Amino acid sequence: MSLKFDIDLKQFSDQMKQFKKEFESDMHVAVGSLASMTHAKTLELTNQLSSSIQKTYRDALSFEKIEEGVWIVNLDSKAMWIEEGLDPYSMYDTHLRSPKAKTSVEGHKYLTIPFKHNKNPSEQSASAQNLTTQIRKELKDRGIPYKKLELGPDGSPRDRKSTRLNSSHSAKYRMPSSA
């Protein structure tokens, strides 16, 4: 018994070409949808940023079609610091130029920065935990008790203002006066 197969390769080739066209068209639509969803999700995530930088980030975010099947969601370089962070720097001088900065009787500038340190570490954000650790280390290095009443040489409670950091202090790191 013999079997005979008659295959029309021309028809098969034409069908594959049509399939390729449909597939490419579907992929272009899918890529455009994915780019659009990425842009929308990125805009949604900006709500997690502080309100002071949300506008900067949103204004720097662009979404454009370059050519068929090629889309770009781009963050302009002026806002890349939001994604990448800033190099370490001291905020000391910036804080002392703030309109909220005050001048002590001795003529030194200072700024009170409120800081809630009464939360358990498990209730704090990662950045708050890091800040708490840095403050505890700085207080320990200065011999200042953390969350305990600080006593003066005569045993009486020490005035909180005496531990406030101001422009007369020369330490590299600063602690908030409420610590």
Range of the domain at 33: 10-84
The domain boundary residue, chosen from 58, 84, 110 = 84
pLDDT for the residue numbered 168: 47
Is pLDDT at 139 greater than 90 in this prediction? no
Number of domains in the chain: 2
- Please indicate, yes or no, if residue 179 is contained in any of the structural domains: no
Q: How many CB atoms lie within 10 A of CB 35?
A: 17
The answer to whether 39 and 61 are in contact (CB under 8 A) is yes
Whether 47 and 102 map to the same domain: the answer is: no
Residue with tokens 């040489």, as numbered in its chain:
153
- In this prediction, residue 170 has a pLDDT band, given cuts at 50, 70 and 90, of very low
Whether 102 and 141 map to the same domain: the answer is: yes
- Please indicate, yes or no, if residue 172 is contained in any of the structural domains: no
